[in-house]
């Protein structure tokens, strides 16, 4: 039974069941009988033949297709199987001659005679793709997979069609399932298809990252590096040697007017750990000694001595006052 006859049979079955379960008014029963007779005559089918498998309602509800129902409901006799194989061979020869339209026709005839043969569907999917009809190739490949999920070539047909339509991710997934089925005996075509689709998918992922995000990240990294190499000291505080130009210690008034020194003084008062790191700086050591803060034998003073030094406290307090006076107006 062809696809058209199968569909007509499903419609007749639906109309008959609608009359039987009283889902339509009695006024239309005669009209339904006429419709059933007309459909049966037009498609040359037996209106009393009972269909096995899914009904039209089941198909619409479950998203199944006619080919799946045909495979469940039709018993193929041996003569039809022989004829179907002959059509398949003719289709193969047409594919070899790159006569894809003829190949599609031959495989279609084979499917009509034996819809349960997964090879016919898979071969027609390949013919559709070769003819540039990738949407139809996907339908056939998916139908073949539903019919027999262990037939690996159907995944190859599906992967090719998906890739041709620009869906590299789905193509990669289809090829991967095919490779899993093939196991240790994986075919070169399946492996090449998978690697090609995977490469395309990875390229698409890379291109999907906005360039602005990359530029911002690089700019941020460059800025951090620049700050670390110029004027930065331990704990993020400035390099005092750059402040003083490598010369002698400035007077207290100059120090009070230097915003970097004042900010450093504030940070030192708030973060003793940062101060501990700065004490290793030779310039700071010299500054502390010139300010009379040096310990015995030229050693640096301890933390409590520095934190309680009136000069440093005065510097930090004045800086805090200046910061409060220079704040933004609301």
Same domain? 276 vs 182? no
H-state helical runs in 25-167: 29-43, 56-62, 66-73, 78-96, 100-113, 118-130, 134-147, 153-164
Q: What is the mean pLDDT of the chain?
A: 74
Residue 263 has pLDDT above 90, yes or no: no
Provide the domain count of the chain: 3
Res. 146 pLDDT band, cuts 50 70 90: very high
Same domain? 99 vs 47? no
Residues 138, 143, 144, 148, CA torsion sign: positive
Res. 5 pLDDT band, cuts 50 70 90: confident
- Does residue 330 form part of some domain? no
- Does residue 328 form part of some domain? no
Tell me the pLDDT tens digit for each residue of 60-94.
655 444 444 444 445 778 888 999 999 999 999 99
Report the CATH number that the domain containing residue 193 is assigned in CATH: 1.25.40.10
Name the residue range of residue 121's domain.
78-207
Tell me the pLDDT tens digit for each residue of 6-32.
888 888 888 888 878 777 777 888 888
Distance, in Å, from the CA atom of 233 to the CA atom of 227, rounded to the nearest integer, reads 10
- Does residue 212 form part of some domain? no
Res. 256 pLDDT band, cuts 50 70 90: low
- Does residue 225 form part of some domain? no
* pTM, entire model: 0.45
Q: What percent of the chain has pLDDT over 90?
A: 35
Same domain? 175 vs 96? yes
What is each CA distance from 114 to 3, 11, 91, 143, 170, in whole angstroms? 12, 22, 15, 14, 29
Same domain? 92 vs 197? yes
- Does residue 284 form part of some domain? yes
Same domain? 39 vs 108? no
């Amino acid at each position: 039974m062809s696809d058209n006859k199968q569909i007509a049979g499903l419609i007749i079955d639906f109309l008959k069941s609608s009359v039987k379960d009283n889902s339509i008014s009695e006024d239309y029963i005669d009209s339904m009988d006429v419709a059933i007779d007309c459909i049966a005559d037009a498609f040359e089918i037996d209106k009393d033949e009972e269909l096995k498998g899914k009904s039209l309602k089941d198909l619409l509800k479950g998203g199944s297709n006619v080919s799946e129902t045909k495979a469940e409901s039709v018993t193929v006799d041996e003569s039809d199987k022989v004829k179907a194989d002959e059509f398949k061979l003719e289709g193969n020869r047409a594919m070899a001659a790159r006569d894809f339209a003829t190949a599609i026709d031959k495989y279609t005839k084979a499917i009509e005679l034996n819809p349960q043969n997964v090879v016919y569907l898979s071969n027609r999917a390949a013919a559709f793709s070769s003819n540039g009809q990738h949407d139809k190739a996907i339908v056939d490949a998916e139908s073949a997979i539903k019919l027999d999920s262990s037939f690996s070539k159907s995944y190859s047909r599906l992967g090719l069609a998906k890739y041709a339509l620009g869906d590299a991710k789905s193509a990669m997934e289809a090829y991967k399932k095919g490779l899993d089925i093939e196991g240790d005996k994986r075919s070169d075509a399946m492996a090449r298809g998978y690697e090609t689709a995977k490469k395309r998918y990875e390229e698409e992922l890379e291109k999907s990252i906005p360039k602005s995000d990359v530029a911002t990240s690089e700019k941020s990294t460059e800025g951090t590096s620049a700050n670390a190499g110029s004027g930065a000291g331990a704990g993020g505080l400035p390099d005092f040697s750059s402040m003083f130009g490598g010369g002698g210690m400035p007077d207290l008034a100059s120090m009070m007017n230097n915003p970097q020194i004042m900010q450093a003084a504030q940070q030192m008062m708030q973060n003793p750990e940062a101060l501990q790191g700065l004490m290793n700086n030779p310039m700071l050591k010299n500054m502390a000694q010139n300010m009379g803060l040096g310990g015995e034998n030229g050693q640096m003073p301890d933390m409590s001595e520095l934190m309680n030094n009136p000069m440093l406290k005065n510097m930090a307090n004045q800086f805090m006052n200046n910061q409060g006076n220079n704040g933004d107006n609301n």
